[in-house]
Amino acid sequence: MKNKTLLILTPFLIFCIFILLSLKPNNKGNKNDKPNIIFISIDDLRPQLNCYGKTEIISPNIDSLASRSYLYENAVCNFPVCGASRASLLTGLRPNENRFKSYKTRIDEDADSYPTMGEWFKKNGYYTLSYGKISHHKNDSPESWSEPAWRADKNWRDYQTKENILVAEKNNGVSNAYEIGEDMKDKYADTKMIDKSIEKLPLLKDMKKPFFLALGFLKPHLPFNAPSKYWDLYAEIEIELANNRYQPKNAPKISMHNYGELRKYTNIPNDINQSISDSIQRKLIHGYYACVSYIDHEIGRLIKRLKELKIYDNSLIVLWGDHGWQLGEHNLWAKHCNYQTSLKVPLIIKYPNQKKQKRVNTVVELLDLYPTLCDLSQIEKPAHLQGKSLVKINKSNPENFKGYSRYHKGFTVTTNDYSYTKWANKENTFKTDMMYNLKNDPDENINISVIRNNDSVINKFRYLLDSVSSVD
């Protein structure tokens, strides 16, 4: 009888042991519950890429990433300068009268009581790293990262040729607006950053927790410095200048600027009344293209290593630009304005194990990244976030969403059909405005806010801007 009882209980005991073993903590399994995140920022990158339907720039690695990702065709930044844009994205908060107002913005001064994206993921079990330019200031919000933020650049302009180094040493770090990298003193900072990332990846793979690796490229920010082989990809004589080098018809004067950022460089006229010659404009565009191709190559090196380590497929990869950039459109250079050339950005998100591309046409904001990554990582969202998760939008792709941007006293709402901007005076009352029909006039060449039969649309947009500006 005793032996019979044992025989009956044995299968039950085996089943119990199996259940207990399955409940035992398994660090490797827990890590796989949350995807590793590779978070790639590219400074001053405009969506002039093959994956966005353009053909001028050679960027095969970004295009390949986009071929298996969600590609957002109408993503806008929330403030068209690096410091404020990045602070808004990293905190999930909109710029307003009291925070995120310039390129010098610091999160730990303007919004220290709110957890950054890095800090939130760190609190939720991620090992977080910042290499290169993520926040504008390397030492901003250090609690965000599991290790101190790292950058290779001592002088962010990163000249490497003897000629430019000598000029910069005598001129407060400034020399030419571009550099053809021949006989270089050292590697460029962005190459060093990818070197360090590739070196770190095996250690991150072996950790018993998921990682959040933020990688911030300096280029194609001015000066346009890149190794000569990337300049050689393009025949300068074939590079086309912008076809709308004029102030838009009926556009208010306040919408324009004198591109002071570019005029700081020694080979650019610093007199605001002096135009930039066609030959220099063509050289600047050439340099911008070379820098994008250079960064694309470095991204390719990173992706190759991710694949070798079998990290790539099951990781969440995000690539974003912090704002757009003018290359002579409307006779403007750099950013610093409320035109779509300053506001539109590339935004690409590869889900773990994604095999096909999905193009999302609706307007989205960089502000939306924080809640989206929380959802994709199965992390509870902090209560302060002001953006929307893109997870549901990715499935339905509605066309009724709006993007809100501001540049000082200029406030812009972008939809699939229109862009509308209004400016306020010092008393925060209405000063002037402009509106463009993006379906008929995607390059924003004719301001239609002066046409009276557009009043109903304009009033709707003014109401929307007033509503969003009242949000803390």
Return the pLDDT at 338.
98
Return the pLDDT at 472.
66
Contact 436, 447 (CB under 8 A): yes
pLDDT at residue 96 tops 80: yes
pLDDT tens string 125-152: 999 999 999 999 999 999 999 999 999 9
**Average pLDDT score, the chain:** 92
- Of 16, 51, 77, 136, which is the active-site residue? 136
> For 132, phi and psi rounded to 5 degrees?
80, -155
pLDDT band at 31 (very low <50, low <70, confident <90, very high): low
Q: What is the 3-state secondary structure (H, E, C) of the chain?
A: CHHHHHHHHHHHHHHHHHHHHHHCCCHHHHHHHCCCEEEEEECCCCCCCHHHCCCCCCCHHHHHHHCCCEEEEEEECCCCCHHHHHHHHHHCCCCECCECCCCCCCHHHHCCCCCCHHHHHHHCCCEEEEEECCCCCCCCCHHHCCCCCECCCCCCCCCCCHHHHHHHHHCCCCCCCEEEECCCCCCCHHHHHHHHHHHHHHHHHCCCCCEEEEEEECCCCCCEEEEHHHHCCCCHHHCCCCCCCCCCECCCHHHCCCCHHHHCCCCCCCCCCCCCCHHHHHHHHHHHHHHHHHHHHHHHHHHHHHHHCCCCCCCEEEEEECCCCEECHHHCEECCCCCHHHHEECEEEECCCCCCCEEEEEEEEHHHHHHHHHHHCCCCCCCCCCCCCCHHHHHHCCCCCCEEEEECCEEEEECCCEEEEEEECCCCCEEEEEEEECCCCCCCCECCCCCHHHHHHHHHHHHHHHHHHCCC
* Cα 347 from Cα 394, distance rounded (Å): 13
Q: Are strands 326-327 and 316-321 parallel, antiparallel or unpaired?
A: unpaired
pLDDT tens string 289-302: 999 999 999 999 99
Return the pLDDT at 395.
78
Return the pLDDT at 393.
86
Return the pLDDT at 375.
97
Return the pLDDT at 16.
44
pLDDT at residue 39 tops 80: yes
pLDDT at residue 429 tops 50: yes
pLDDT tens string 198-208: 999 999 999 99
Which residues contact residue 317 at a Cβ distance below 8 angstroms, ignoring those fewer than 6 apart?
37, 38, 40, 65, 69, 348, 349, 350
The residue that leads in pLDDT, 15 or 294, is: 294
Structure tokens at 325: 């950039």
pLDDT mean over 408-436: 95
pLDDT at residue 253 tops 70: yes
Return the pLDDT at 155.
86
Return the pLDDT at 32.
56
- Of 77, 82, 291, 374, which is the active-site residue? 82
Q: Is 297 a known active-site residue?
A: no
pLDDT at residue 450 tops 80: yes
pLDDT band at 468 (very low <50, low <70, confident <90, very high): confident
The residue that leads in pLDDT, 126 or 1, is: 126
Distances in Å between the Cα of 340 and the Cα atoms of 80, 252, 282, 323 are: 10, 16, 22, 10
- 32-402: CATH topology is Alkaline Phosphatase, subunit A (3.40.720)
pLDDT band at 452 (very low <50, low <70, confident <90, very high): confident
Q: Is 136 a known active-site residue?
A: yes
Return the pLDDT at 71.
98
pLDDT at residue 29 tops 60: no
Return the pLDDT at 105.
97
pLDDT tens string 394-412: 877 777 799 999 999 999 9
pLDDT band at 1 (very low <50, low <70, confident <90, very high): very low
- Cα–Cα nearest to 470, from 414, 420, 411: 411
Return the pLDDT at 285.
98
pLDDT mean over 348-353: 97
Q: pLDDT > 90: what percent of the chain?
A: 86
Q: Is the whole model's pTM more than 0.85, yes or no? A: yes
Which residues contact residue 78 at a Cβ distance below 8 angstroms, ignoring those fewer than 6 apart?
84, 85, 88, 89, 94, 95, 365, 366, 367, 403, 404, 405, 406
pLDDT at residue 13 tops 70: no
pLDDT tens string 273-292: 898 999 999 999 999 999 99
* Cα 192 from Cα 300, distance rounded (Å): 14
